[in-house]
Amino acid sequence: MSEVVSYNREGKIGVITVNYPPVNALGQAVRSGLLAALEQGQKDADAKVLLLVCEGRTFIAGADIREFGKPMQEPTLPALVNTFENSDKPLVAAIHGTALGGGLETALSCHYRVAVSSAKVGLPEVKLGLLPGAGGTQRLPRLTGARKALDMITTGEFVGARDALALGILDAVDDGDDIRAAGLAYAQKVADEGKPVRRVRDITDKIEADKGSDVFDQFRDELKKRARGLFSPFKCVDAVEAAFSLPFDEGMKRERELFMECMESPQRGGLIHSFFGEREVSRVKGLAKDTPVRDVKSVGIIGAGTMGGGIAMNFVNVGIPVTIVEVKQEALDKGLAIIRRNYENSAKKGKLTQAQVEQRMALITPSLTYDDFRDVDLVIEAVFENMAIKKEIFARLDEVCKPGAILASNTSTLDIDEIASATKRPEDVVGMHFFSPANVMKLLENVRGSKTSDEVKATVMAVAKKIRKVGVMVGNGYGFVGNRMLHKRGTEAMSLVDEGATPQQVDKVLTDLGFPMGQFAMSDLAGIDVGYRIREERRKAGEDIPASWMDKLAEQGRLGQKTLAGVYKYEEGSRKPVPDPKVEQLIEQFRKEQGITPRAITDQEILERCMYAMINEGARILEEGIADRPLDIDIVWIYGYGFPAHRGGPMFWADQEGLDTILCAVKKYRDTVGGEQWEPSALLEKLVSEGRKFGDL
Ligand code: T1G
């Protein structure tokens, strides 16, 4: 018998138990173990009914993703589930935790399914650039009908046990939390009542009901909007449609063909890289697993503006009380009013009850004095980017906060060490860079200063997990990882427009690549004044920052979406960027003043200059150790800057593009465009000369 699957009998019930931590994934050992256990159960004359149950925290959470891309080993999953379904003894699946992907498909090949009420089921393969490849697209619609099956399979969203019961996916839900007992009781009932083998493949009423329906085309149209540029969601619809147009076995064949097409798509590689990357970034290089973590049971926030308010919501959302300090009462009132409005909007959408709104608002204490920070465990400063003001604040925090309190800055560019130098406890100072809107964006760029202690680093990574953010630890340097690379892309985007491109041409190249919005639409969202103030700060600091047509927009009060005019113009109540002839005139005027003769610029040049400048900078960031691994950069960009996850992030994408191609282009632009951003990174040169990739680092 295999180590990971066991068989025993309890009375008339043959019990097949999977125990393969952490999530009982269907690796080769589990698949062959299941097959052997099923065979044993078949042969066990005293076993009238068979029960499939799992040890640990969850039922099978899918195929073993780590096996993808490697040669497929027998038994294959489709063969296994068909063998299960063909069992001539009733098979019951007992589900706890999450029955996902191949796990749910295995349960669907059983004849009855029972779950504890806390369980969830789902077919999230589409999130990995795949589709359910072991019968999920053929069996699920036989239970739920076309629309619900399409919804579950094209979104990958999980469904709770009670809803799954209502949908016919489950046969029973047990209110207890002992899945083995619940499974045995249900299997006993099947045995006692002599319930027959019931194969999902034979259930056709829902198939007949939706045969020839236009729901498939409706989903294709809808996916054109919500899955723009993605490959597998459309294949999911094709596969489910096959269940309504082909006999079962041919439908299974069609599913396999479509599954293999998804497997071969580069998007699968990008999405799986993102899946594991999101988990890997939580393991910080050089930080021991058992590094002590401080308790963070109360938080202080300085500034009730857009960032401060959003940051506060993250903590009260998980029940951590927050004290917000502002300089003036009206700023405080305005900030809290925005937070309340955000929650009430969620309540209007049914995402929160009014009681939950009040409960969260009750966890926020407005204040006008730092003294109210004396007992908090963590303080996050979220005021606008001015070093002098930030140092003043940290000096004050140093006086009032208790020993052991963590002092964090939400700065998006400034030097953490310089901020820390304003205190006598630089080891307790760290950057916690949230992204706007802070209550929505998943990324938290945690910035270690040169003196930040391991305990503080481990604590802010744990805080990220606690407030449901993807935390990435990065080093201290201008713009850290994300903004530093964004700045290079921005510089190239600006130059491309100076030289002849239009803002909308540049933005279209980026949205065609898969970004939710382009460089200039993003500037309009963030506010033209934000970039303008940073440039003015740097000019005041003596840096030679050239004039730009963007400054003229700011000086004319075209600050972006908030003034319904920036690089684009906006209709009242709409976020849709509309090219504005006035801006084109302004840019033409600017070119004249700069003596620039515009030229035709290709989309390929725009792609190369915007993306390769970022990647060259990403390589420098790795050289300097500001990012420990290429995947840290990838996850920062996917969760903080909308880099399309199906391309795996900038460094993963660069490997797909070919580092030699990129280096060649970098050198071309060094010689033609110029600028320090086109000096090839030593790391990039080294990898190319050794025929290696970022993925090899
Ligand atoms: N394969 C391999 N490893 C997996 C895994 C999987 N399916 N799921 C999780 N892990 C690892 C994960 O990397 C982490 O490892 C640890 O388990 C805990 O995960 C034919 C083709 C189950 C909801 O897409 O959504 O079936 O970092 O940190 O927050 O149709 O993991 O500790 O080393 O995420 O509690 C379909 C993916 C596969 C589910 C648990 N299944 N997993 O969340 O813990 S494709 C999925 C999840 C398929 C068939 C097809 C979540 C979770 P480490 P975690 P969690």
The runs of H, that is alpha helices, within 246-328 are: 248-264, 266-280, 306-316
CA–CA dist 307, 324 (Å, integer): 12
Q: pTM higher than 0.85 for the full model? A: yes
| Structural contact between residues 476 and 448, judged by C-beta atoms closer than 8 angstroms | yes
> Average pLDDT, stretch 296-314?
97
Q: Is the CB of 65 under 6 A from ligand 1?
A: yes
Mean pLDDT of the chain: 96
| Nearest in space to 622 (alpha carbons), one of 485, 455, 443 | 485
- pLDDT band of residue 623 (cuts 50, 70, 90) is very high
| Nearest in space to 144 (alpha carbons), one of 117, 174, 113 | 113
Q: What is the pLDDT of residue 477?
A: 95
Residue-wise pLDDT for 102-123, tens only, equals 999 999 999 999 999 999 999 9
- Comparing 508 with 535, the larger pLDDT belongs to 508
Residue-wise pLDDT for 220-236, tens only, equals 999 999 999 999 999 99
From the list 10, 67, 125, 499, the catalytic residue is 125
Q: What is the pLDDT of residue 69?
A: 87
CA–CA dist 427, 408 (Å, integer): 11
Instruction: Choose one of 4, 18, 20, 23 to mutate for the ligand 1 pocket test, by most ligand atoms within 8 angstroms of C-beta.
Output: 23
| Structural contact between residues 33 and 25, judged by C-beta atoms closer than 8 angstroms | no
Give the ligand 1 atom nearest the CA of 276: 13
Give the ligand 1 atom nearest the CA of 130: 21
Note if the bond before 22 is cis, omega within 30 degrees: yes
Cα–Cα separations (whole angstroms), residue 667 to 557, 608, 650, 660, 675: 39, 12, 19, 11, 11
Q: Is the CB of 134 under 6 A from ligand 1?
A: yes
Residue-wise pLDDT for 557-607, tens only, equals 999 999 999 999 999 999 999 999 999 999 999 999 999 999 999 999 999
Ligand 1 centre distance from Cα of residue 23 (Å): 7
**Closest residue to atom 30 of ligand 1, CA basis:** 132
Give the ligand 1 atom nearest the CA of 131: 30
**Closest residue to atom 42 of ligand 1, CA basis:** 61
Q: Is the CB of 272 under 6 A from ligand 1?
A: no
CA–CA dist 87, 476 (Å, integer): 60
Q: Is the CB of 270 under 6 A from ligand 1?
A: no
For 142, the token pair is 């036989």
**Closest residue to atom 41 of ligand 1, CA basis:** 62
Give the ligand 1 atom nearest the CA of 105: 30
Three-state SS across 186-222? HHHHHHHCCCCCCCHHHCCHHHHHHCCCCHHHHHHHH
Residue-wise pLDDT for 320-359, tens only, equals 999 999 999 999 999 999 999 999 999 999 999 999 999 9
CA–CA dist 203, 212 (Å, integer): 18
Strands 13-18 and 49-54: parallel
Q: Is the CB of 61 under 6 A from ligand 1?
A: yes
Q: What is the pLDDT of residue 1?
A: 56
Kindly tell me the burial class for residue 286, based on how many C-beta atoms sit within 10 Å of its own C-beta (0-12, 13-18, 19 or more): exposed
* Catalytic status, residue 105: yes
- Calculate what percentage of the chain has a pLDDT beyond 90: 94
CA angle 364, 368, 369 (to 5 degrees): 105
Q: How many residues does the chain have?
A: 697
Q: Is the CB of 57 under 6 A from ligand 1?
A: no
Q: Is the CB of 122 under 6 A from ligand 1?
A: no
* Catalytic status, residue 588: no
Residue-wise pLDDT for 462-477, tens only, equals 999 999 999 999 999 9
For 35, the token pair is 């097959």
Ligand 1 centre distance from Cα of residue 100 (Å): 9
Q: Is the CB of 255 under 6 A from ligand 1?
A: no
What is the residue whose two structure tokens read 């099956």? 149
Q: What is the pLDDT of residue 542?
A: 86
| Structural contact between residues 38 and 16, judged by C-beta atoms closer than 8 angstroms | yes
Instruction: Choose one of 54, 58, 65, 442 to mutate for the ligand 1 pocket test, by most ligand atoms within 8 angstroms of C-beta.
Output: 65
Ligand 1 centre distance from Cα of residue 114 (Å): 22
From the list 105, 255, 326, 445, the catalytic residue is 105
For 556, the token pair is 């004319």
Cα–Cα separations (whole angstroms), residue 92 to 3, 55, 112, 208, 384: 22, 16, 5, 26, 59
Q: What is the pLDDT of residue 540?
A: 82
Kindly tell me the burial class for residue 190, based on how many C-beta atoms sit within 10 Å of its own C-beta (0-12, 13-18, 19 or more): buried
